Amino acid sequence: MSPQSTLLQALAARLGPTAVLTDVPTLQRAASDLYASGPLPLAVVRPADPAQVQQLVAEASGHDVALVPRGGGLSYTGGYTGSQQPFLLVDLSALDRIEHIDADDMYVIVQAGVSWKQLYDALAPLGLRTPYFGTFSGAGASIGGGLSHGALFFGSARYGSAADNVLALELVTADGQWLRTGQWAWREPALPVFRGYGPDPTDLFLHDGGAFGIKTRAALRLIRTPAHSAGASFAFAGFEAAGKALSAIAREGLAEETYVLDPGAMAMNLERERTLRAAWTALRQVTRASPGLAGKARALASLAAGGRTPVPANAFSLHLVAAGNSTAAVEHDLGRARALARQHGGVAIAPSVPRIARANPFPGLDAVLGASGARWAALNCKLAHSQAAALITAHQALVARHAQALHEHGVRVTWLCSALFNHSFSFEAVFHWHDQWQPTHAPHLSPQARARLQEPAANPQARALVATLREETCALFVQMGAASNQIGRTYPYLDNLAPPARQLLQTLKQQLDPARRMNPGVLGL
């Protein structure tokens, strides 16, 4: 037997035969994200608990085999699409237990494979929430993946990204050793409620793509769910004006999330809600989420108004959710947001979009494809509010240079901008095109979507154009000095660092992973 076959046999003996998968369809799904596919792994290994992760890494440490961790499988930046050297793909989806919820000390301990929806649903009956509480794909996206690849959205304007709400981590390093951070790192572990006891290594293992170890557990902050919340929406004639209003609202910390949709993105959102089934579902969810008879009546009136007064054609729309522990606090923040929106030319419209988004933040994963079955892939960056207008103008010009090719090949570009805390503007460009699906697309669809959608034929011309647009967009981000969160193998992270910082990261990689076995190539390491 080859050394690799011996390793797989040993892993099956340790973890159980169903934990080591080698059939081609499973390998193909595991080796692809929503944008591209990489080399096939030797096997997909599914440890059942954190102890089995340690056993897996220890068993593999004596072999020349890389280890690539994978969470929910919903990335589009090559975070787990492998390397050319032989590797095992470590599927962490079975680490799906919420181990401890502490309402006295306000933290929760979760395993890495728990989804954001699973955690949200477990905390809601207790009147608790993580401050940041999930991404659009939270029905399938895992917490471990979100910490490795910079998940953000719900709650991010006030509380930051997933990584900003971590109190402690547990992981397995390349040599099979346990490592804990925060107060978990003490010789006699303390409760994980504080990270500031001297230099703390937690941040080294956040946004790292699994380059320094495999995360098995995390302790996250909790807050009491705000007693009151309400949405607001505004229409703007131009992208720059909407972006400036977003920045003004973000600077004052008026919302838990605030975001701008361009006309194309808004049209796609409306297209999903256009069916009778979707309309009734939205109606039930919004009324269920609204407290009291008066709240339900206001919600119904808002949705009705939204149907009569949609976003004006070609308008950019800004949406936000304000939250607090009194109606007076929420109304104050909404009033100030309305004033700031008006200063930048915003016109109030019915807040149907934020109401529906908050009523059911994790509606399933059919959105991995467009409503007609088109593929999409996004690129994002973070920069200062003062730089946002220049980036908006520059990226619109970049897209305009390809206008003819975009038309010829049926490629569309939309934008989504949002706030990350009060000091960071998040810009995201999304590319849409009809093309053969990736192996990971169909398994994420509901049965209804699978029956309704038909996979398009291969479209290599559109795919090549999207690749060019992505390359030019990444170059523009670098030119603007803009950082990204879901780095993977797409953004030039290591090459962007100044020599002292680059050397420090390389030294740490050498210390923690001298054989370069932990997700080699991610972050450029």
Nearest to 44 by CA among 71, 22, 17, 15: 22
Listed residues 44, 60, 94: the one ending a domain = 94
User: By C-alpha distance, which of 443, 407, 418, 280 is closest to 354?
Assistant: 418
The answer to whether residues 333 and 303 belong to one domain is: yes
What per-residue confidence (pLDDT) applies to 305? 47
Which pTM does this prediction carry?
A: 0.91
- pLDDT value at residue 62: 82
Look at residue 271 in the predicted model and tell me its pLDDT: 58
The residue whose two tokens read 């992208």 is: 239
Q: Is residue 120 within 8 Å of 362, Cβ to Cβ? A: yes
Residue 279 binned pLDDT confidence (cut-offs 50, 70, 90): very low
- pLDDT score at 508: 95
pLDDT at 351: 93
Alpha helices in 322-459 (DSSP H): 327-343, 352-359, 388-401, 403-409, 447-452
Cα distances (angstroms) measured from residue 519 to each of 179, 208, 214, 511 = 18, 10, 9, 15
For residue 496, tell me if it sits in a domain: no
Structural domain count of the chain = 4
Regarding whether 354 and 247 lie in a shared domain, the answer is yes
Banded pLDDT at 276 (limits 50, 70, 90): very low
For residue 292, the model assigns a pLDDT of 54
Whole-number average pLDDT of the chain: 91
Question: Are 246 and 319 members of one domain?
Answer: yes
* pLDDT exceeds 80 at position 277: no
Please compute Rg for the chain using Cα positions.
23
Q: Are residues 157 and 39 in the same domain?
A: no
Average pLDDT over residues 344-350: 95
- Counting residues of the chain whose pLDDT is more than 90, the rounded percentage is 83
Q: Are residues 390 and 320 in the same domain?
A: no
Give me the mean pLDDT over the 357-364 stretch. Answer: 92
Residue 310 has pLDDT above 70, yes or no: no
Across residues 236-243, what is the average pLDDT?
Answer: 96
Q: Does residue 463 sit in the same domain as residue 378?
A: yes
Residue 521 located in a structural domain: no
Q: Which structural domain range is residue 77 located in?
A: 3-94
Query: At 2, is the pLDDT very low, low, confident or very high (cuts 50, 70, 90)?
Result: confident
Q: How far apart are CA 325 and CA 343, in angstroms?
A: 28
CB-CB neighbours of 514 under 10 Å: 10
The pLDDT tens digits for 380-424 are: 999 999 999 999 999 999 999 999 999 999 999 999 999 999 999
Q: Is residue 323 part of a domain?
A: yes
**What CATH number has the domain bearing residue 23?**
3.30.43.10
Do residues 135 and 149 lie in contact, with contact meaning Cβ atoms separated by under 8 Å?
no
Same domain, yes or no: 190 and 271: no
pLDDT of residue 415: 97
pLDDT of residue 447: 95
Q: Is residue 289 part of a domain?
A: yes
Position 285 confidence tier, pLDDT thresholds 50, 70, 90:
low
Whole-number pLDDT of residue 268: 62
pLDDT in tens, 135-163: 989 999 999 999 999 899 999 999 999 99
Residue 24 lies inside a defined structural domain of this protein: yes
- Helical (H) or strand (E) element with 474: helix 460-480
Q: Which residue has the higher pLDDT, 297 or 317?
A: 317
Distance CA 416, CA 425 (A): 11
pLDDT tens digits along 459-476: 999 999 999 999 999 999
Which of the four pLDDT bands, split at 50, 70 and 90, describes residue 192? very high
Q: Is residue 437 part of a domain?
A: yes
Give pLDDT, residue 1.
Answer: 67
Report the pLDDT value the prediction gives residue 304, as an integer from 0 to 100.
45
Give the model's pLDDT for residue 309: 47
Whether 220 and 114 map to the same domain: the answer is yes
- State whether 232 and 220 are in the same domain: no
Q: How far is CA 149 from CA 32, 284, 419, 433, 522, in A?
A: 16, 33, 18, 24, 11
Q: What is the pLDDT averaged over residues 282-306?
A: 49
Q: What is the distance between the alpha carbons of residues 52 and 44, in angstroms, rounded to a whole number?
A: 14
Q: Residue 236: pLDDT above 90?
A: yes
- Kindly report, residue by residue over 109-140, the tens digit of the pLDDT: 999 999 999 999 999 999 999 999 999 899 99
Q: Which CATH number goes with the domain that contains 107? A: 3.30.465.10
Looking at residue 307, what is its pLDDT? 41
We report the CATH number of the domain holding residue 337 as: 3.30.70.3450
How much of the chain, in percent, has pLDDT values that exceed 70? 91
Q: Which of 174, 190, 224 is the C-terminal boundary of a domain?
A: 224
Q: Tell me the HSE value of 309 on the side-chain side, using a 13 A CA sphere.
A: 11
Cβ neighbourhood burial of 188 (10 Å; 0-12, 13-18, 19+): exposed
Q: What is the pLDDT of residue 354?
A: 95
pLDDT per residue as tens digits for the range 8-64: 999 999 999 999 999 999 999 999 999 999 999 999 999 999 999 999 999 998 888
Residue 308 pLDDT greater than 90, yes or no: no
